[in-house]
Amino acid sequence: MFQFSKRLASKGLRVTLVTISSDTHHEPIETQLSLVKIESIYAASEEADKINAENKIQWLQNILTKRLPELISKQESIGCPISCIVYDSALTWALDMAKGLGIAGASFFTHSCAVGTVYCSYPSFLKLVVGRFSNITDADWIFWNSFDCLEQEVVSWMKTRWPIKTIGPTLPSMYLDKRLEDDRDYGFNLFTPNIDTCIKWLESKDTGTVVYVSFGSMANLGEKQMEELALGLKRSKTNFLWVVRESEIQKLPSNFEEQTSEKGLVVNWCPQLQVLAHKAVGCFMTHCGWNSTLEALSSGVPMVAMPQWTDQLTNAKFVEDEWKVGVRVKVDQMGVVTKEEIERCIAQVMEGERGKEIKGNSIRWRELAKEAVAEGGSSDKNIEEFVAALVGIVLKLGCGFRPWRRHFQLWIGCWSKPRWWWVSGSGFGYGGGGFGNSHGSNGYGGNSNYNNNQAVHGPPGVAIASDASRRLLQSVSFHGVGARCLNIRAGMEIPDNKPLKFALQYIHGIGRARAAQILSELNMSNKLAMDLTRREVVALDDVLSKYVIGRDLAGLVDRDIKRMKDIQCYRGIRHVDKLPCRGQRTSTNAMTRKGSQRVAVAASKKLKK
């Protein structure tokens, strides 16, 4: 999530990091084009330590539901209202809070799209995991830390159901497109770094001769498994760099480090991205957590998959069978991966024809990952579209016959052990006629002639970096006329210069009668859409959520037509042939349905005299 905020900062936004912490003092963190400010929500560390993992979510919810509205009100009072809350998908209550305050909400998923389809299909799987899908259809956007071509079939299917946008891989730019010059690392470490030891050791090894072994910060291997893993690494013909947490060190066989000192190095922590990017690393033995999987794919490093639980099993399946960038270990009858199996898998990845094929596939996926986040790539376009849409929301809420003075604010929330990180951004401050200038007089769109040429401007140094944003702003007048469209729900827009009775009919599935029924239910006058207050927009959104309209209705119709085609009923056959299916004549009619079907007729030859 922090990496996503950096990407947004590169589009001209100012970002603030809000975190739960017992420490009340934080230093600002620099990111490209932005100074990251910090807002702390205090919580006693002694209280947090007493709470087990199962109750941690509820504890954090109790704290944040009280404090977040206060922070949002604070931003309102200083003239920088929040326009969107991007929240970790586990924090479903954040969307309810956002909607209650009339703020757009976007869910951020930190596992693969394929895993998401599994979780949403089995409601009885896990309360915490499945709970994040409880109100997903109400979100304005759904972000996924993946990229389109990595899970093309799954992403295409999900787009027919939800307004999803892939924005990954969310890695520091230095390891991908290198467009953000100061984005070299994640910006924080869960453990004390010891970079020099790892990198110096790797420098002493030949290219592609090291197996990097790490199972994340939470996985706990049993003593028997640790012993088999140690012996398997010892038996292999390769060097190894093994990350073992301090709490796990006692599980290693006695004298293991001394016996393997010539070919191996055991550390408590290492900079994983730097290690994976090093030329000496030829294989990554991993638990297949999604972050580790994306880091390996983006670095072009083959994998030996040793999954432990939840999404890791699905990720391992894709590593071996779909992306073909590694092999998956097999367990014995006791559920243990033996030393012989570990030795076999490492040799298979790093040696022979199979190893060459896996390495070639890994390099191909590395290039595709870079393309996705590069300028014009699928993830970059999705971020651009999101930024442009947020500008549209600000214009919608700030329109009317009054001076244009409104700042764009974005709040992002994510959970990263041991802290919860909340990121907000402000930008797109604008005056009567200028965008992207610290003085509001010569910004995008020319000088202001409104209010005696006194432009009301946003925060200094804010610029519109998005081409999509510029195109959107060009269609807006700066003399008191509002934006052309009003975003009511995800994928639903109505013209803001028409009475509601007619504007609502621009939504697929709403006709004259239903529009009148909605207005009657809300006891709302037939005012112009641009004159709606924020509270009225929220009330209208709640009523519209009761109907199957817009994207949901279109998807339902498409599924019905597909079913009729599949069962080869009369109407299905007519749909396949692109003909009317309700009894209309077709010999001299239905040209709209049939399309142009003129048959060319050869010209008759004239007789020679």
Residues 155 and 30 in one domain: yes
- According to the model, what pLDDT value does residue 248 have? 87
Determine, yes or no, domain membership for 444. no
| Residue pLDDT, tens place only, 332-390 | 988 899 999 999 999 999 999 999 999 999 999 999 999 999 989 999 999 888 888 87
Cα dihedral across residues 278, 114, 411, 496: positive or negative? positive
- According to the model, what pLDDT value does residue 350 have? 93
Residues 361 and 239 in one domain: yes
The CA-based angle 574-580-583, given to 5 degrees, is: 100
Which of the listed residues 386, 416, 446 is the one where a domain comes to its end? 416
Residues 363 and 382 in one domain: no
- According to the model, what pLDDT value does residue 433 have? 30
User: Are 512 and 518 spatial neighbours (Cβ–Cβ below 8 Å)?
Assistant: no
Tokens, residue 495: 């013209």
- Judge whether residue 606 has pLDDT over 70: no
Tokens, residue 3: 């990496």
- According to the model, what pLDDT value does residue 7 have? 78
- For the ranges 69-83, 133-147, 309-323, 467-481, the maximum mean pLDDT occurs at 309-323
Residues 143 and 212 in one domain: no
Determine, yes or no, domain membership for 440. no
Tokens, residue 222: 């049993």
Residues 97 and 163 in one domain: yes
Mean pLDDT of 467-475: 33
Phi/psi for 174 (5° steps) reads: -60, -25
Q: Which of 480, 492, 587 is nearest to 537 (CA)?
A: 492
Tokens, residue 397: 């809420």
User: Are 198 and 265 spatial neighbours (Cβ–Cβ below 8 Å)?
Assistant: yes
Mean pLDDT of 402-428: 37
Amino acid at 538: V
64-78, 145-159, 292-306, 445-459: range with lowest mean pLDDT: 445-459
523: burial class by Cβ within 10 Å (0-12, 13-18, 19+)? exposed
User: Are 120 and 16 spatial neighbours (Cβ–Cβ below 8 Å)?
Assistant: no
Residues 10 and 131 in one domain: yes
User: Are 438 and 468 spatial neighbours (Cβ–Cβ below 8 Å)?
Assistant: no
User: Are 466 and 11 spatial neighbours (Cβ–Cβ below 8 Å)?
Assistant: yes
- According to the model, what pLDDT value does residue 92 have? 82
- Domains contained in the chain, number: 3
Q: Which of 39, 4, 27, 17 is nearest to 180 (CA)?
A: 4
Q: Which residues contact 604 (CB under 8 A, 6 or more apart)?
A: none
Strand order in the sheet with 14-21: 29-31, 34-42, 14-21, 419-430, 406-416, 84-88, 104-109, 141-144, 164-166
CA 100 to chain centre: 23
Residue 317 CA to residue 293 CA, distance in Å, equals: 12
Cα dihedral across residues 463, 468, 474, 479: positive or negative? negative
- Judge whether residue 418 has pLDDT over 70: no
Q: At what angle do helices 152-159 and 113-121 cross, to 10 degrees?
A: 50
Longest dimension (CA), the chain: 111
Determine, yes or no, domain membership for 543. no
The CA-based angle 189-194-200, given to 5 degrees, is: 135
Phi/psi for 255 (5° steps) reads: 60, 20
Residues 132 and 200 in one domain: no
| Residue pLDDT, tens place only, 192-213 | 556 788 999 999 999 999 999 9
User: Are 509 and 550 spatial neighbours (Cβ–Cβ below 8 Å)?
Assistant: yes
Strand partners, 30: 35
Determine, yes or no, domain membership for 227. yes
DSSP 100-126: HTT-EEEEEE-S-HHHHHHHHH-TTS-
| Residue pLDDT, tens place only, 489-524 | 555 678 878 888 898 888 889 999 999 998 888 888
User: Are 175 and 15 spatial neighbours (Cβ–Cβ below 8 Å)?
Assistant: no
Residues 153 and 31 in one domain: yes
DSSP 174-230: GGTT--STT--S-S--SS---HHHHHHHHHTS-TT-EEEEE-TTT----HHHHHHHH
Determine, yes or no, domain membership for 143. yes
Average pLDDT, the chain: 75
Residues 41 and 86 in one domain: yes
- Judge whether residue 56 has pLDDT over 80: no
Q: Which residues contact 560 (CB under 8 A, 6 or more apart)?
A: none
- According to the model, what pLDDT value does residue 393 have? 64
- According to the model, what pLDDT value does residue 476 have? 33
Q: Which residue range forms the structural domain that includes residue 131?
A: 2-178+375-416
- According to the model, what pLDDT value does residue 207 have? 94
Q: Which residues contact 134 (CB under 8 A, 6 or more apart)?
A: 92
Tokens, residue 283: 């294989």
Strands, E assignment, 221-270: 239-243, 264-267
Distance from first CA to last CA of the chain, Å, rounded?
A: 85
Residue 523 CA to residue 509 CA, distance in Å, equals: 21
Residues 344 and 393 in one domain: no
* 183 SS3 class: coil
Cα dihedral across residues 540, 545, 546, 549: positive or negative? positive
Confidence of residue 461 (pLDDT cuts 50, 70, 90): very low
Q: What percent of the chain has pLDDT over 90?
A: 28
Q: What percent of the chain has pLDDT over 70?
A: 69
The more confidently predicted of residues 509 and 43 is 509
Residue 29 CA to residue 596 CA, distance in Å, equals: 62
DSSP 302-360: -EEE---STHHHHHHHIIIIIS-SEEE----TTS---HHHHHHHHHHHHSHHHHHHHHH
CATH of the domain at 8: 3.40.50.2000
Residues 347 and 266 in one domain: yes
Q: Which of 568, 576, 507 is nearest to 540 (CA)?
A: 507
| Residue pLDDT, tens place only, 570-599 | 999 988 888 888 888 777 776 666 655 555
Residue 386 CA to residue 367 CA, distance in Å, equals: 24
- Judge whether residue 478 has pLDDT over 90: no
Residues 245 and 106 in one domain: no
Amino acid at 183: D
Determine, yes or no, domain membership for 536. no
The more confidently predicted of residues 331 and 57 is 331
Rounded alpha-carbon distances, angstroms, from residue 454 to 405, 427, 442, 534, 572: 12, 20, 12, 27, 63
- Judge whether residue 8 has pLDDT over 70: yes
Cis peptide before 459 (omega within 30 of 0): no
Amino acid at 7: R
Task: Work out the number of other CB atoms within 10 angstroms of the CB of residue 186.
Answer: 18
| Residue in the block written with tokens 């085609």 | 565
Determine, yes or no, domain membership for 494. no
Determine, yes or no, domain membership for 7. yes
Phi/psi for 48 (5° steps) reads: -65, -35
User: Are 499 and 528 spatial neighbours (Cβ–Cβ below 8 Å)?
Assistant: yes
